[in-house]
Amino acid sequence: MDFSLSPELLALRDKTRAFIAEQVIPLENDARQSRHGPDEALRRELVGRARAAGLLTPHASRELGGLGLTHVEKAVVFEEAGYSWLGPTALNIHAPDEGNIHLMEAVATPAQQARWLRPQVAGQLRSCFAMTEPAPGAGSDPAALATVAVRDGDDYLISGQKWFITGAEGADYAIIMARTEDGGATMFLSDMDQPGITLERSMDAMDACFTGGHGVLRFDKLRVPASAILGEVGKGFRYAQVRLAPARLTHCMRWLGQARRAQDVALAYARRRTAFGKPLSSHEGVGFMLADNDMDLHTARLHIWHTAWLLDQGEQGSYESSRAKVVCSEAEWRVVDRCVQILGGQGVTMETPVMRIFMDMRAFRIYDGPSEVHRFSMARKLVQAAEKDAQAERGVPATIQAVPAAPRPL
Amino acid sequence: MDFSLSPELLALRDKTRAFIAEQVIPLENDARQSRHGPDEALRRELVGRARAAGLLTPHASRELGGLGLTHVEKAVVFEEAGYSWLGPTALNIHAPDEGNIHLMEAVATPAQQARWLRPQVAGQLRSCFAMTEPAPGAGSDPAALATVAVRDGDDYLISGQKWFITGAEGADYAIIMARTEDGGATMFLSDMDQPGITLERSMDAMDACFTGGHGVLRFDKLRVPASAILGEVGKGFRYAQVRLAPARLTHCMRWLGQARRAQDVALAYARRRTAFGKPLSSHEGVGFMLADNDMDLHTARLHIWHTAWLLDQGEQGSYESSRAKVVCSEAEWRVVDRCVQILGGQGVTMETPVMRIFMDMRAFRIYDGPSEVHRFSMARKLVQAAEKDAQAERGVPATIQAVPAAPRPL
Amino acid sequence: MDFSLSPELLALRDKTRAFIAEQVIPLENDARQSRHGPDEALRRELVGRARAAGLLTPHASRELGGLGLTHVEKAVVFEEAGYSWLGPTALNIHAPDEGNIHLMEAVATPAQQARWLRPQVAGQLRSCFAMTEPAPGAGSDPAALATVAVRDGDDYLISGQKWFITGAEGADYAIIMARTEDGGATMFLSDMDQPGITLERSMDAMDACFTGGHGVLRFDKLRVPASAILGEVGKGFRYAQVRLAPARLTHCMRWLGQARRAQDVALAYARRRTAFGKPLSSHEGVGFMLADNDMDLHTARLHIWHTAWLLDQGEQGSYESSRAKVVCSEAEWRVVDRCVQILGGQGVTMETPVMRIFMDMRAFRIYDGPSEVHRFSMARKLVQAAEKDAQAERGVPATIQAVPAAPRPL
Amino acid sequence: MDFSLSPELLALRDKTRAFIAEQVIPLENDARQSRHGPDEALRRELVGRARAAGLLTPHASRELGGLGLTHVEKAVVFEEAGYSWLGPTALNIHAPDEGNIHLMEAVATPAQQARWLRPQVAGQLRSCFAMTEPAPGAGSDPAALATVAVRDGDDYLISGQKWFITGAEGADYAIIMARTEDGGATMFLSDMDQPGITLERSMDAMDACFTGGHGVLRFDKLRVPASAILGEVGKGFRYAQVRLAPARLTHCMRWLGQARRAQDVALAYARRRTAFGKPLSSHEGVGFMLADNDMDLHTARLHIWHTAWLLDQGEQGSYESSRAKVVCSEAEWRVVDRCVQILGGQGVTMETPVMRIFMDMRAFRIYDGPSEVHRFSMARKLVQAAEKDAQAERGVPATIQAVPAAPRPL
């Protein structure tokens, strides 16, 4: 067992930290932001700064122009990037592009990569991932997928409605999940400027950190050639899983950075603000919250590191990434909520960055599977594992079977 | 970063697991137990089994007859031993002997080691650690130490009262903390069968897993030669710290085993017990608790592993072991409380081992520093670290200082 | 709305309070107690004291020899009685006798009342309520009732097993729930000294406050005449409901007294114990717990009062008593757990009464329906009520229907 | 004890409920709202509707044109008004006007009332309460008041800075707290259109329900005649207390309405939304949240009712209103947070009113004293009360003193 980070990784961490402090945080007050995130001009400026610093799209392979980071390396770098809400945009590692790049690199054809992935890795275009649908379609339960793709000669005609499509406004291309005639789910690629794609509206969301906000899309017989199928027909859910486990984990990483930022702001405030004759930080009521925050931050970090390491070992990590998602989304939220409380009135106004983090983060306990769905899925797997153990251990002195029916030592 | 365990450690883990399942759990119903733990005969039988299995006193150095485990290795082995409440007694790694062996190995003279430590490592004698005092003496706040050691020729005469002295009844020797005339605290060694030592009573405690229970001791001019000083005069608190950080962590390890046992019992019950037409485990209300338990167990394990690794790197780990103690004592408690709830009526009776674990574990949130004392100490250190950072970063673009006074991006 | 208590009720409260302080608490250390509660001699002494004080069986009607208290009056008096763990035994208001008396008064025939109820109200005999069965019988889900009563001439022969039968050891008579040939559940009365009734064992429970502990009973063709049917054939579950709502609430009342006792002990300790240079109570970490305790105590009291008032209005109060049971069992538990923490080592030993209260109370979150069963039942009823509202409001501007699909005021 | 509401109060409740459903909720999407609340035109329209319905300023005395509601009556009516975020504005019972009206009615001279209070009760003008200051001035700790009022002939010249002044933008008059030369605090009345008053900026707050938002005010030698002193010189803090206890409680009432609204929306959604083959509400994970919400809502309501009743009895209710404030602000917040979670993606967007309620409510745990300040104050009072009890009971068998040193019944 070894918790040390290599000198190269430490250097990359420090470089990212300095970049965020010097190049990104000074832009946090930039006016080119709205409730739908930074605009394209600000995004390009941020991306340009990351490119100049050699930090752009670090999770893409070196062949594509990235840094080819492992999952553990991403854990360290993405936490640093997340320290500013503009950091993930700058490094081109924000949702959904981060996960889409990962998926495209794993599944897309060379032609598809040349057309969409390479410019995306270079920060020149943006994408969206069109899977979630309004009721009664595919929400928490993807099996209810209602968007259809009907064969028309060599093409497909896609029809349906999608919502909560992050980054939709202004995206250059979309990965679209639709049901094909064989009943399975298939992923399609399409430029966004096609007839047949309508951005019905942008949703007013609590968060404001994703470029392009969250859109409602309508597909009316959108024509897509067979060559724009991503991977194979009918394997859409399998690819969604490929995308999902790492994508969940990168959310945990970025939000850990935001939670650490909130703790730093609260700690600085508690040190210099005086109440009832002593610094806030000397009040146990505040000190306990600072300590709880540190426990939660470290818990989140350890779960991220452990799951990232498992993924690096080639494990699918589906159970562990579920667990990490629930642990991190809830622990990081507690941190930010406590920071709001420590900051008092300033916590619920834009006097400090913490209110912004609070509003940006709430949805994290919901997207990529709300905590409740993950808990139920975890329970099912725990029971299955216990049943398998129980069968394997039949006839031998197994731990559970060896539990005496009625121990009565006292 | 590497979370893998060496093949040797995995083998030792599996050997310990099998030993507990086959040699220890079958004795859990043994009648030679009382509210003050297993009696000496049962203890000797358990120790004998561990000796035969090559697992006795594994944390002592190989030179002394142990296995010389590192902290990380202890993390793995002690968790397994803790799976049964008799496991730590069998392996000779229960409090207070485990910590006393560690301290004696680090500080005692060869003569002291020959007399007390070597037979203790061999499982032939037991010890107690006489530090805590009734109010207004040394409780959570050790600075209030009231027991005194007065110089008398070459000897010292120790007088005072101690309570909550785990293992006192039947212990062979004691490590006694007393204030010497220079005002400092000094540790003394003494056989327990001396005139001047009275076991006033054994306290009725909720736990029943420590051999010898918890005693109230009175020292009336107990005569101790200068050669029985442990280490140097006046360094008692320093040694207590040496003992403390690892001792805290070994508590976390052993109780993790108990919490895992509770989860296994609850999981087995939830799989086979039916209510309202389906297995308990298929009820979300129960499944969520099982999932929360797994999150808490893994959180505890990760904090233990990380802190153990730090100690193996030579770090003092005072902050981290505080943090791990709070995280583990609270997470493991939540697990056991949920298991009681899942088991229903059987959780609050001796029909399963879980009630016993519940009663044994409650004190863990209190001893070695209640959560509140650790939280306050952690807060103080977080503030100090933040102040140091702030000074270091003066003049350069530091993260906290760069927080804009009033970011207003929306 | 009026929260005032009548002068008579205040006087009765103060009288009960003084009785507990002067006549009952001094007996808490009496040796005539075991893990199965006070023995019969101690019980008779306690009952005698309550009789002398005019406080015996106050919930029975005046006609039967009680004080004929309303539910609200019980709320006030039972809280006071619960201040000592011996108080409910003294006043003859402990489970299961308290609920059985209530049920017998409502349903039993004059002959049955003369034989069993009148001496019980006078404190001369004890009863048990034999409903719960081991798996796969009637546990949290009473529909699974497995004990049968087979007609045999004018008699019934009852066979089956029951467990967690509070007060079984030493009880004079039992109310037995069994399935009759029509498939329904019927309640039978039987003396306990009959052939056909075996007390297989007493269970080792965490609590030790119920006279007679918790027993496992076996019925082997227990012969019961038709005249010993309680109420009508097939109405067993209906009567169980009659007994249940008030019985739940009296648990809440008695345990509120115990929780208040724990808070008083913790408060007294926190005032006089010093740590780090000031009284414990001046540490925010402790003070916050004391404040939280007071909030939880008052929350429990308000729910009890409100539900008791509803029952006094003739409401069945099934939903509200479920809600009060969950709120109180969890709030009162938090209070006691915090008190343990405040008391430190003394909280986990018999140095104070709090450890005893902690161990006695844990089962309250489980019996009379674990929190999880109540929460699910409450949810079902909330949904049903909402559906009913929605139907009633069809066509008129109803609050929920008036929720705009997409309010967008900002 | 009596929890019933009079027929008149029930009629008023139903009337208010219908008014909100029919006259107010339809305006929730009205465009005349911004991050600083409804604008003056929308406010006047809302007030006009309430006037027409006979519901305007119901807490003012009948003599002044209100309905002269008692505190208990306010509890019922304000909860209904709070069901829409525009309701309190319509009824003229929103902070800070609600509390200012209360204070002005109790303290202002007839001339002051004629000039400011009467038109305010009629909904024709708005006010603000200028007390809170930026560090190191009067925040959670009002003793640090830094704004000064210097005597100048018959006038006073007020100088200082205030922030978090709710409703400042567009207010017609202000109540200003300033330190006079005798060292005490005094309240002054002033029109807002005076030279010497500058609205430096409006703060960007998370909430958007208060007309006029939250402003930063600067006073530069604002000239105020002695006739504009509110009450007596030096009694500013005493009047602030007069205003405080009821004002705290009316916050609890209004937010209870918002929390109930959130629960209704979540319940409606959970009934009709399907996931994994059944309605959301049939999932225990969701059902438990709905049940917890109902417990929290009822807990809040009971604390409000009880404290309101105490105030109606003439009690100052300082302790109880602190307790109610903490209980309600935390319980109501838990409700809204759970509703967000139940609603999933729709909970974090403006698709339903719940996100808006979530953002509006967070500050409630902070203003009028953050939970931490109230908890500490409550602890101090609990300790004082216990000390008083202990003294009073010296020599008589008191409950705490009667706690045996070492009960050992088992």
From 1.10.150.120, 1.10.540.10, 1.10.8.60, 1.20.58.2240, which CATH number describes the B7-94 domain?
A: 1.10.540.10
Are C285 and A288 an interchain contact pair (Cβ–Cβ within 8 Å)? yes
- Beta-carbon-side half-sphere exposure of residue A139 (alpha carbons within 13 Å): 18
Q: Cα–Cα distance between C39 and C169 in angstroms, integer?
A: 10
Q: Cα–Cα distance between C266 and C286 in angstroms, integer?
A: 10
Share of chain D above pLDDT 70, in %: 95
DSSP of C177-226 = EEE-TTS-EEEEEEETTSTTEEEEEEE-BS---STT-EEEEEEEEEEEEG
Q: What is the pLDDT of residues D350-359, one digit of tens each?
A: 999 999 999 9
| Same-fold call for D7-94 versus D237-388 | no
CATH topology of domain D237-388: Butyryl-CoA Dehydrogenase, subunit A; domain 3 (1.20.140)
Q: Cα–Cα distance between B94 and B83 in angstroms, integer?
A: 13
- CB atoms under 10 Å from CB of B278, counted, come to 9
Whether residue D394 has pLDDT greater than 90: no
The residues near D404 (Cβ < 8 Å, ≥ 6 apart) are C25, C28, C29, C353
Q: Cα–Cα distance between A259 and C222 in angstroms, integer?
A: 67
Q: At what angle do helices D284-312 and C284-312 cross, to 10 degrees?
A: 90
Q: What is the pLDDT of residue C393?
A: 57
Residue of A132, A203, A273 lying closest to D351 (CB–CB) = A203
Are C406 and D375 an interchain contact pair (Cβ–Cβ within 8 Å)? no
Q: At what angle do helices B284-312 and B71-81 cross, to 10 degrees?
A: 150
Q: What is the pLDDT of residue D136?
A: 86
Per-residue pLDDT of chain A (410 residues; tens, 9 = 90+): 999 999 999 999 999 999 999 999 999 999 999 988 999 999 999 999 999 999 999 999 999 999 999 999 999 999 999 999 999 999 999 999 999 999 999 999 999 999 999 999 999 999 999 999 998 888 767 778 999 999 999 999 999 999 999 999 999 999 999 999 888 899 999 999 999 999 999 999 999 999 999 999 999 999 999 999 999 999 999 999 888 878 999 999 999 999 999 999 999 999 999 888 899 999 999 999 999 999 999 999 999 999 999 999 999 899 999 999 999 999 999 999 999 999 999 999 999 999 999 999 999 999 999 999 999 999 999 999 999 988 765 433 333 322 333 333 33
Confidence of residue B54 (pLDDT cuts 50, 70, 90): very high
Chain B window 37-76: which residues touch A at a Cβ cutoff of 8 Å? 72
Query: Would you give the DSSP letter of residue B211?
Result: T
**Measuring CA to CA, which residue among C335, C264, C341 is closest to residue C298?**
C335
Are B410 and D288 an interchain contact pair (Cβ–Cβ within 8 Å)? no
**Measuring CA to CA, which residue among A176, A198, A196 is closest to residue A130?**
A176
Q: Cα–Cα distance between B252 and B212 in angstroms, integer?
A: 21
Whether residue C312 has pLDDT greater than 90: yes
Main-chain phi, psi angles of B62, to 5 degrees: -60, -35
Q: What is the pLDDT of residue C310?
A: 96
- 3-class DSSP state of D2: strand
**Measuring CA to CA, which residue among A163, A158, A169, A165 is closest to residue A196?**
A158
- CB atoms under 10 Å from CB of B96, counted, come to 25
Rg of chain C over CA atoms, in angstroms? 23
Share of chain B above pLDDT 70, in %: 95
The residues near A243 (Cβ < 8 Å, ≥ 6 apart) are A99, A100, A102, A103, A129
Confidence of residue C398 (pLDDT cuts 50, 70, 90): very low
C117, C149 contact by CB (below 8 A) = no
From 3.40.50.300, 3.30.830.10, 3.20.20.140, 2.40.110.10, which CATH number describes the D127-234 domain?
A: 2.40.110.10
Q: What is the pLDDT of residues B209-255, one digit of tens each?
A: 999 999 999 999 999 999 999 999 999 999 998 888 789 999 999 99
Helices (H), B2-93: 7-19, 40-53, 71-81, 87-91
Q: What is the pLDDT of residues C5-38, one digit of tens each?
A: 999 999 999 999 999 999 999 999 999 999 889 9
Question: For residue B242, what are its two tokens?
Answer: 């040496």
From 1.20.140.10, 1.20.120.1200, 3.40.640.10, 3.40.50.300, which CATH number describes the A237-387 domain?
A: 1.20.140.10
Q: What is the pLDDT of residues B154-211, one digit of tens each?
A: 999 999 999 999 999 999 999 999 999 888 899 999 999 999 999 999 999 999 999 9
- Taking residues B124-152, report their average pLDDT: 90
Q: Cα–Cα distance between D134 and C359 in angstroms, integer?
A: 50
CA distance B285 to chain D (A): 6
Subunits next to B (3 or more Cβ pairs <8 Å) are A, C, D
- Taking residues C315-342, report their average pLDDT: 97
Amino acid code (one letter) for C320: E
Confidence of residue D241 (pLDDT cuts 50, 70, 90): confident
Preceding peptide of B96 cis, ω within 30°: yes
The residues near A8 (Cβ < 8 Å, ≥ 6 apart) are none
pTM of the entire structure?
0.95
CA distance D92 to chain C (A): 20
Amino acid code (one letter) for D273: R
| Element containing residue C354 per DSSP (H, E) | helix C354-361
Chain D window 93-152: which residues touch C at a Cβ cutoff of 8 Å? none
| Element containing residue C157 per DSSP (H, E) | strand C155-166
D19, D55 contact by CB (below 8 A) = yes
Question: For residue C130, what are its two tokens?
Answer: 């034999």
| Contacts D386 to C, Cβ<8 Å | 264, 267-268, 271
| Contacts A204 to D, Cβ<8 Å | 349-350
Dihedral sign for Cα atoms in the order D185, D188, D194, D197: positive
Quick one: how many helices (H) and strands (E) in chain A?
12, 12
- How many beta-carbon pairs below 8 A join chains C and D? 242
CA distance D363 to chain A (A): 6
- 3-class DSSP state of B209: coil
**Measuring CA to CA, which residue among B347, C374, C367, A326 is closest to residue D284?**
C374
Residue in chain A nearest C202 by alpha carbon: A408
From 1.20.120.1730, 3.30.70.1150, 1.20.140.10, 3.40.1390.10, which CATH number describes the B237-389 domain?
A: 1.20.140.10
| Contacts A275 to D, Cβ<8 Å | 139-141
Question: For residue D206, what are its two tokens?
Answer: 């998370």
- 3-class DSSP state of B104: helix
Q: What is the pLDDT of residues C118-154, one digit of tens each?
A: 999 999 999 999 999 998 888 767 778 999 999 999 9
Q: What is the pLDDT of residue C390?
A: 82
Q: Cα–Cα distance between A55 and A44 in angstroms, integer?
A: 14
Amino acid code (one letter) for D310: L
**Measuring CA to CA, which residue among D349, D264, D330 is closest to residue D25?**
D264
Q: Cα–Cα distance between D325 and D247 in angstroms, integer?
A: 10
Main-chain phi, psi angles of A367, to 5 degrees: -75, 165
- Beta-carbon-side half-sphere exposure of residue C376 (alpha carbons within 13 Å): 16
Q: Cα–Cα distance between C222 and C218 in angstroms, integer?
A: 9
Q: What is the pLDDT of residues C41-82, one digit of tens each?
A: 999 999 999 999 999 999 999 999 999 999 999 999 999 999
C247, C99 contact by CB (below 8 A) = yes
Q: What is the pLDDT of residue B36?
A: 87
Whether residue D401 has pLDDT greater than 50: no
Q: What is the pLDDT of residue C400?
A: 30
| Contacts A284 to C, Cβ<8 Å | 283-285, 288
Whether residue C409 has pLDDT greater than 50: no
Q: What is the pLDDT of residue D142?
A: 73
Q: Cα–Cα distance between D214 and D360 in angstroms, integer?
A: 13
Question: Does A376 contact B at CB distance below 8 Å?
Answer: yes
B313, B326 contact by CB (below 8 A) = no
Chain-centroid distance, C-alpha D199: 23
Burial class (CB in 10 A: 0-12, 13-18, 19+), C63: exposed
- CB atoms under 10 Å from CB of D322, counted, come to 25
Residue in chain A nearest D371 by alpha carbon: A341
Whether residue B6 has pLDDT greater than 80: yes
**Measuring CA to CA, which residue among D113, D114, D89, D102 is closest to residue D38?**
D89
The residue of A36, A201, A204, A282 whose CB has the most chain C CBs within 10 angstroms, and thus the best one to mutate to test that interface, is A204
Main-chain phi, psi angles of A343, to 5 degrees: -75, -10
Burial class (CB in 10 A: 0-12, 13-18, 19+), B191: middle
Share of chain C above pLDDT 70, in %: 95
Q: Give the residue carrying structure tokens 């017989």.
A: A221
Subunits next to C (3 or more Cβ pairs <8 Å) are A, B, D
Q: Give the residue carrying structure tokens 């009332």.
A: D113
Q: What is the pLDDT of residue B402?
A: 29
Confidence of residue C389 (pLDDT cuts 50, 70, 90): confident
Q: Cα–Cα distance between B389 and B386 in angstroms, integer?
A: 5
Q: Where are the domains of chain B?
A: 7-94, 127-234, 237-389
Rg of chain A over CA atoms, in angstroms? 23
Q: Cα–Cα distance between C245 and B342 in angstroms, integer?
A: 23
Subunits next to A (3 or more Cβ pairs <8 Å) are B, C, D
Q: Which residues are paired to D165 by β-bridges?
A: D215
Q: What is the pLDDT of residue D271?
A: 96
**Measuring CA to CA, which residue among A103, A101, A81, A99 is closest to residue A90?**
A81
- CB atoms under 10 Å from CB of B201, counted, come to 15
B165, B216 contact by CB (below 8 A) = yes
Question: For residue B265, what are its two tokens?
Answer: 């019992």
Q: Cα–Cα distance between D307 and A238 in angstroms, integer?
A: 58
Preceding peptide of C88 cis, ω within 30°: no
Chain A window 271-290: which residues touch B at a Cβ cutoff of 8 Å? 271, 281, 284, 286-288, 290
Whether residue B408 has pLDDT greater than 60: no
Amino acid code (one letter) for D223: R
Amino acid code (one letter) for D383: V
Chain D window 156-185: which residues touch A at a Cβ cutoff of 8 Å? 163-164
Architecture of domain C237-385: Up-down Bundle (1.20)
- CB atoms under 10 Å from CB of B315, counted, come to 14
**Measuring CA to CA, which residue among D327, D366, D353 is closest to residue D83?**
D353
The residue of B252, B284, B399 whose CB has the most chain A CBs within 10 angstroms, and thus the best one to mutate to test that interface, is B399
Q: Cα–Cα distance between B220 and B125 in angstroms, integer?
A: 24
